[in-house]
A and B are shown apart, each in its own frame.
Chain A
Amino acid sequence: MERFFHSELETMKSHLMLMGEKAYEAVECSIQALADRDIDLAEKVIASDDEIDALEIEIDHEATRYLTLRSPVASDLRLITVAIKASHDLERVGDEAHNIAKRARNLILKSKGEYDLLQIREMAEKAKAMLRMSMDCFVNEESEKAQEVLASDAEVDRLNKDNFKGFIKLVKNEPEDTKRYMDLIFISKSLERIADHATNLAEEIIFLTTAAESRHSGL
């Protein structure tokens, strides 16, 4: 038997899913703006960050209200704690997409010639896939697939390190374009952080579905 207040949990879940979709779209558009030199798209991503921030506040409010009024336990309680943490991770994903879009706008306006993105596109695809898989695992409450997200993070870290080395090399060869390559280093770092947040989401989903702790495996 569902009680009248259980629908509030469903509302909160649907807000979290919406936030996940908006964060994913922001990442996708920010990279597309960079690749296609599309300044309108970059501006759109920059403007969309407020919507993601507003959802974080809404989910926080819903979670706090449920804790205050409904005394949740067991899986309901785990959902509340996960929603608070996951919404923060998604808000950070939105911030990183916002940062990528701002740097993309910078590059479009100030770097006229052709330049190499190194492995930024590949990194972006992997980070997006991790984000998508985490959100799918949340919707379907799948802990096993969430484990796959954790395993993917090392590959994104490796790509970021390769990018860093590659862009530093380009700075040395083309010192007049240092600002351009600094922007690209920061974009690569943003993608690496997005993958970290997708990893956090996966850990939170494992906790939600199994009550098991998968964070900080070395402890």
Chain B
Amino acid sequence: MDTAAPPTERPRPIVGENSSDQKFIEIKDFSFYYGEAQALHDLRFDIPEQEVTAFIGPSGCGKSTLLRSINRMNDLIDGIRHDGDIKVNGTSVFDPLTEVISLRKRIGMVFQKSNPFPKSIYENVIYGLRVSGRNKKSELDQIVTESLQGAALWDEVKDRLHESALSLSGGQMQRLCIARAIANQPEVILMDEPCSALDPIATGKIEELIHELKKEFTIVIVTHNMQQAARVSDNTAFFYLGKLIEYSTTETIFFNPADPQTEAYITGRFG
């Protein structure tokens, strides 16, 4: 007698231990939709504090969508919705009491293309503070100094703080955007392909900066550059078609990945 095959469950992603097994950012059964199109499928993993976590995967895999969900940048898009939750430091980013502007100060973002405002270097750094009504010059001076030092830009611009930010090189502009983010003393810095438009020297400076910044901040970076993910991150998540395929320490992912799709992607055999 023929018997019906048992229903098959969708295979769960391989989620190894991250490097410290902390839960600073908790992604809980998170799905995301652009209208009818589901971009993220039931993601569940945790990102540890004060470490660098890289999201990798081919274009359209959902890594930037997830990154932008963490500080609700996707709210600006019509027709989006989500299921599940994302918590940062124990608080849901979707909590109705969460105010989006303050959320984005707690969770800063650096974009693929640097986006300084057409203002002076000084004013760019303190832009967020000015918006929140902080105008005491001595305090702002100190924050500008500390933020530019933190972004490894101080020595290059300390004598021209009041010149236009648009006079800086591409790499300097990107570091200025990082200084602008850290001036708000965020808990998390999200980076969406921060070096894709930079030359190797500027890229090296940003990577050194990321290595320093993780002493104070939790960093999540989206990158198409696998060597960059391997160099700068402690943990790596590989996504494909909106699903988390594998998440583990970066060393595990790049030395002995568990999933054949991860192996194929990182060795260039995918597609």
Contacts and interface: CB of A to CB of B under 8 A. Distances in A.
B193 interface: no
A3 interface: yes
A3 B268 contact: yes
Interface stretch (B95-103, B131-139, B251-259): B251-259
Contact of B269 (A3, A71, A77, A78): A3
Contact of A1 (B226, B254, B271): B271
- Which interface class (under 10, 10 to 19, 20 to 34, 35 or more) fits A? 10 to 19
Nearest to B230: A73
B3 interface: no
B268 A75 contact: no
Contacts of A1: 269-271
Nearest to A211: B256
A77 B270 contact: no
B231 to A, nearest CB: 11
Contacts of A73: 226, 230, 254-255, 266-267
- Which interface class (under 10, 10 to 19, 20 to 34, 35 or more) fits B? 10 to 19
Contact of A74 (B254, B270, B271): B254
21 contacts: A1-B270, A1-B271, A2-B269, A3-B268, A6-B268, A6-B269, A71-B226, A72-B267, A73-B254, A73-B255, A73-B266, A73-B267, A74-B254, A74-B255, A74-B256, A74-B257, A74-B263, A74-B266, A74-B267, A75-B263, A78-B255
Given A71-B227, A73-B254, 20 more contacts: A1-B269, A1-B270, A1-B271, A2-B269, A3-B269, A6-B268, A72-B267, A73-B226, A73-B230, A73-B255, A73-B266, A74-B254, A74-B255, A74-B263, A74-B266, A74-B267, A76-B267, A77-B255, A211-B255, A211-B256
- 9 smallest CB-CB distances across A and B, nearest first, come from A211-B256, A73-B254, A3-B268, A1-B271, A73-B266, A76-B267, A74-B263, A74-B267, A71-B227
